[in-house]
């Protein structure tokens, strides 16, 4: 891996592909600085080594030059997180943009306009990529969140920098964290998969089965499995078309020596709402009119014992409808158990949008070994795919 610390940035104008796709409120103010903070170490390193930084990012999915999605809205936040003056360039490529980047002095930082104002960014257009490359003398990719895209700025651009390209420190950390689970994990290795649907996690489950010792299945996925096993699911979320697949998966796990753990009891509501009446049922005996929305107390205890017995833990997807506080206990319990295992020396990686949201909401952020910043990129890595943004840096 070409990493940041072995490069010479003195007097280099460094194009850094960052992921500043941050949430904005109706007044176009940044409501969560996490992604900007995550890019800060790379920027500070390059500046401390005598380079200047040209920050490239996308924001949202604009149709044309939508002023609401101009990166100028985030300029103040970027400057305040970096603790540095940051200039803004209202074009992304072309003469004006090149002149602005050439005028940069060592230590200078320039934020360029939204890459996705140009449709050539997403189509990975080669001429557009070449023009982007003219903005700087060195290319660093620090945008894990878009590393699974073969876009101009995330992948295609890299070929115009023979040796002068490398991983940013965030991208490096993300790749190492995934490697630590998928290739170098200390046994026993546990994956906890929750979330809404089996259908969206199939390829992940398949590729994980070769790597792990235990799999806890939680969330709405559970009821496709229990229905397949002859259980009653009541009104719980279920994908009958995937029942056969669920049975195959249980068989596969058996032959590979992976222990699959489903909840034994569940907390159900008589309506899909926080204020629904609640009842706990055996997971195989959920009556009509009741929808299982969380792991029950017995399951929480069983899961806790499994989690505490493992040395490497991957968590993707909540254990229930955690957005409803009355159905969040199973997700909180899993978070507490993973935090305790981590404290006792296990390596824990949390990834995938909703589990990251849950971890932040319930205050586990500093109690996990690593929390991934990339949703789709993380999931594709777990599926065993080589991400285009990473492959391009290794060429
Ligand atoms: P995913 O994006 O597949 O990880 O799904 C996350 C979503 O799954 C969250 O919004 C949860 O509310 C939802 N979820 C988790 N457990 C259940 C359940 N038992 N029934 C319905 N939705 C669930």
146 and 191 in a common domain: no
Residue 179 lies in a domain: no
194 and 93 in a common domain: no
288 and 226 in a common domain: yes
Residue 390 lies in a domain: no
Structural domains of the chain, count = 2
Give me the pLDDT at residue 373, please: 83
What confidence tier does 51 reach under pLDDT thresholds 50, 70, 90? very high
Task: Compute, in angstroms, the gap from residue 316 CA to the centroid of ligand 1.
Answer: 11
**What is the average per-residue pLDDT within 357-386?**
90
Asked if residue 188 has a cis previous peptide bond (ω within 30° of 0), the answer is yes
Give me the pLDDT at residue 376, please: 84
Which mutation among 192, 193, 196, 350 tests ligand 1's pocket best, with the greatest number of atoms within 8 A of CB? 196
Supply the range of the domain harboring residue 257: 185-382
Ligand 1 nearest-atom number relative to CA 318: 15
Name the percent of the chain lying above pLDDT 70: 100
Name the percent of the chain lying above pLDDT 90: 89
Give me the pLDDT at residue 353, please: 67
Per-chain mean pLDDT for the chain: 95
**What is the average per-residue pLDDT within 270-291?**
98
* 173 closest CA partner among 47, 307, 338, 347: 347
189 and 154 in a common domain: no
Task: Compute, in angstroms, the gap from residue 36 CA to the centroid of ligand 1.
Answer: 28
Q: Which residues line ligand 1 (CB under 6 A)?
A: 194-197, 200, 219-220, 237, 292-293, 317-318, 320-321, 323, 352, 354
More confident residue, 154 or 354: 154
355 and 232 in a common domain: yes
- Is residue 316 within 8 Å of 307, Cβ to Cβ? no
More confident residue, 232 or 34: 232
Q: Whose CA is nearest to atom 20 of ligand 1?
A: 220
214 and 150 in a common domain: no
- Listed in order, strand segments (DSSP E) in the chain are 13-17, 52-56, 87-89, 109-112, 138-141, 165-167, 189-193, 214-217, 232-233, 259-261, 265-269, 278-282, 285-286, 291-295, 312-316, 347-350, 370-371
137 and 58 in a common domain: yes
Active site amino acids: 35, 197, 353, 376
CA angle in degrees (0–180, nearest 5) for 83-85-88: 125
- What global pTM score does this model have? 0.89
Residue 98 lies in a domain: yes
126 and 190 in a common domain: no
Residue 352 pLDDT > 80, yes or no? Answer: no
CATH number at residue 84: 3.40.50.1260
147 and 195 in a common domain: no
pLDDT in tens, 184-200: 899 999 999 998 888 88
Give me the pLDDT at residue 375, please: 80
248 and 127 in a common domain: no
DSSP assignment letter at 30: B
């Amino acid at each position: 891996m070409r990493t940041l610390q072995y490069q010479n940035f003195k007097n280099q104008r460094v194009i850094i592909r960052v992921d500043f796709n941050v949430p904005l409120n109706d007044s176009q103010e940044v409501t969560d600085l996490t992604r900007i903070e995550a890019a800060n170490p790379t920027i500070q390193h390059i500046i401390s080594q005598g380079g200047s930084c040209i920050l490239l990012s996308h924001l949202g999915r604009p149709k044309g030059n939508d002023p609401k999605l101009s990166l100028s809205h985030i300029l103040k936040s970027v400057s305040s997180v970096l603790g540095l003056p940051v200039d803004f360039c209202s074009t992304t490529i072309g003469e004006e943009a090149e002149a602005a980047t050439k005028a940069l002095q060592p230590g200078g930082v320039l934020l360029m306009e939204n890459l996705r104002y140009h449709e050539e960014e997403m189509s990975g257009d080669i001429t557009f990529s070449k023009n982007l490359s003219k903005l700087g003398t060195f290319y660093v990719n620090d945008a894990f969140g878009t590393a699974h895209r073969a876009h101009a700025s995330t992948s295609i651009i890299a070929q115009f920098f023979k040796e002068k390209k490398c991983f940013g420190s965030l991208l490096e950390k993300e790749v190492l964290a995934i490697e630590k689970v998928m290739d170098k994990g200390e046994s026993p290795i546990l994956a906890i998969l929750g979330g809404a649907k089996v259908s969206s996690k199939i390829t992940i489950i398949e590729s994980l089965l070769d790597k792990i010792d235990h799999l806890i299945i939680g969330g709405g996925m559970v009821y496709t499995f229990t229905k397949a096993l002859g259980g009653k699911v009541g009104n719980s979320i279920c994908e009958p078309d995937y029942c056969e697949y669920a049975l195959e998966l249980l068989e596969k796990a058996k032959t590979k020596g992976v222990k699959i753990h489903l909840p034994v009891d569940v907390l159900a509501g008589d309506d899909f709402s926080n204020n629904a009446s609640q009842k706990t049922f055996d997971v195989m005996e959920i009556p009509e009119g009741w929808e299982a929305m969380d792991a029950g107390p017995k399951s929480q205890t069983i899961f806790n014992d499994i989690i505490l017995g493992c040395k490497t833990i991957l968590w993707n997807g909540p254990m229930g409808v955690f957005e409803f506080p009355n159905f969040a206990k199973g997700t909180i319990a899993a978070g507490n158990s993973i935090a305790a295992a981590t404290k006792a020396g296990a390596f824990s990686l949390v990834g995938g949008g909703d589990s990251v949201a849950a971890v932040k909401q319930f205050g586990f952020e500093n109690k996990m070994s690593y929390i991934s910043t990339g949703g789709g990129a993380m999931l594709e890595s777990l599926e065993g795919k080589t991400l285009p943004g990473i492959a391009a840096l290794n060429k």
